[in-house]
Structures are given as structure tokens and as C-alpha cells.
Amino acid sequence: MIFFIMGGTGFIGGPLIRQIIRAGHEVVVLTRNAALVESLPPQVTPVVDDPLRPGKWQEIAGRTDVIINLVGSSVMTRWTKSARKEILESRILATRMAVEAIPTSRAKQMTLINANAVGYYGDSVSTFITEKAPSGNGFLAEVARRWQQEAEVASERGVRVIIPRFGAVLGRGGGALAKMLPPFRLGIGGKLGNGRQWFSWIHMHDLVKALLFVAEKNTVAGVVNMCSPEPVTNLKFTRTLSTLLKRPAILPVPGIILKLAIGGSAEIVLKGQRVFPEILKSAGFVFDFPTLETALRDLIGDAGSSSAKHLGWSCKGGG
């Protein structure tokens, strides 16, 4: 198959591209930054253009088998009025452009895999959230809901649409773990807020494996939760990470302090959802890192070493 990846030079894009190439598929990557083309594997066909605007890239995308859209500005920032607008519009516009790239008449079936997030469920009090759960409240839930609605328009064109709702992605060199490691390695980490909020996460290796899995499995469509089958509380995450790093974690960060420091985006870590990947499990997907301890051991080792391997130079785990 030929994959067209939007946002392929980001945190998830690199490991995903390598996973797809290893599986023997062709990859075309759309990027706005021509300087990043050199960092792509030689097997990749690069396309330099803007995913938020119509362009020649849409003709190329329309001739492929699978479009994977990972475009979206970071939510880990202070949610000013302009930041909220960028967070929402980057996702809506990129998705709209992806849908418009799909020809109304095609000789073959196409698949659109359009990223989403477990923030869709809001600050849920449910003890067991599956793909059947309704949307919650709050800014992130609204973004995820509108993001999904934009992608589902593609189904009107006879396209198989998959909405992967990502948990917090744990990988080397970026994401949530990169922000957490420095204070924990210094022994000044701690729980956030009361620590009882749920944390739904997934190892990068399992995430890119799951994305390829649903792309290749034609019976899967619709919403797919992409998170570990064993979510943990923030307190459990804190204790596990500090134990593996062999550092104390005795400096909790009160919710009010975190809100003052980073504003509205504090709700990402102060509120949570206990999400389960029921669709993946029922489809036969097997997690290589189902538990937090196995995931963190793979990513940082069991002694918090700062060796090259643990900083992201090991190819194991797709980091």
C-alpha cells in the first residue's frame, strides 16, 4: 500500500514512518518545512507544501491508499485566545484539506486515519471508558468533537474512516515523558494535584504498531481508542517513574500552582479519563508494552541512566 502522511516530521511521524517502511509499504510525507526533508529516511517520497491550504499535494494524496493525518498545533501551551484558535483551526483545516484530497470517484478503496485524543471524553467520572462513551465537556472535548466531525465527512465519499483517540504518548525525545524526566531525575518530581486523576497512556512503539494494524485490517472502522489496557492514576505514574529512576518524588505540585504556571492547559494533567482500547483488543491487537512499568523500563531503563541508549538512540520501541 501507499501511505500519505500529513504531519510526518513530528514526534509521532518519525517512528510511524519507520514502522510502515519496515512493513514493506511505500510512504509519501507532506511537510511545510523543506529543511526537514533531509531528516526523512531515503525510502520516503517528500512533498513540501502547506497542509492547511489547498495545493498540488492533494492530487498526490488522492492517488494513495491510506491518508494518515497527524497535523495539529501543540495543546501544551498557555491557552490564550489566539492559542485556542490555532489549536482548533490547525486540526479542522488540515482535516478538511485531507477530506477534500479524496477523489469522489475512485478505482480503489481508500482509508483516512485522522488523529484525535482521549480528551474527547472530557473530565469523565466513568470508571470504564470505551469507544461507546459520549463526548465530555471542556475545551479539549470540544476540539476533539469538532475534529472528529470534520473527518467523518470523508465517509460520505465512500472512504473507510478511522478516528484513533490517542492517550498520552510515551516515547523518546519528546512528548509527555520528555517534560517529566528532568525534574524527576533531579529528585524534585511529584504528583500533580491530588494525584487521583486517571492517566491514559500508550508507548510509542504500540501506538505506531496500532496505526499500521488498523490501516491493514479492513474490518476496523470508526473510533479506536489507542491507549494502554492498563491506565494508571497520576500518583501511580509518579511512584513508578521515581522508583525506576531511583529518585525521590516528594514535591507535589498543587493544582492552583500549576494553573498559575501554564493556565488552562493544566487541565490536561489535572483532569483525566480511564480509557480502555476495546476495539483494538476485540480486533486481535497485541500490546508489546501493556503495563506502565514495562513501558518505562524500555524507554528509560531501570536506573535512570543518561546513556545514549536511554536518551533515544536505541531503535527498539520506535522512539
What is the pLDDT at residue 271?
A: 83
Q: Which three cell numbers stand for residue 102?
A: 479524496
**Mean predicted confidence (pLDDT) in 204-211:** 98
**Mean predicted confidence (pLDDT) in 200-227:** 97
pTM score = 0.91
Q: Grid cell 459520549 — which residue?
A: 134
270 pLDDT tier (thresholds 50, 70, 90):
confident
φ, ψ (nearest 5 deg) of residue 112:
-110, 120
Least confident range from 63-77, 184-198, 213-227, 292-306: namely 292-306
Q: Name the DSSP class of 14.
A: H
The better pLDDT of the pair 311, 19 is held by 19
| Contact criterion met (CB below 8 Å) for 47 and 97 | no
Domains and CATH numbers, the chain: 2-318 (3.40.50.720)
What is the pLDDT at residue 313?
A: 27
Whether residue 144 has pLDDT greater than 60:
yes
Question: What is the rounded CA–CA span in Å between residue 221 and residue 316?
Answer: 29
What is the pLDDT at residue 48?
A: 97
Whether residue 262 has pLDDT greater than 70:
no
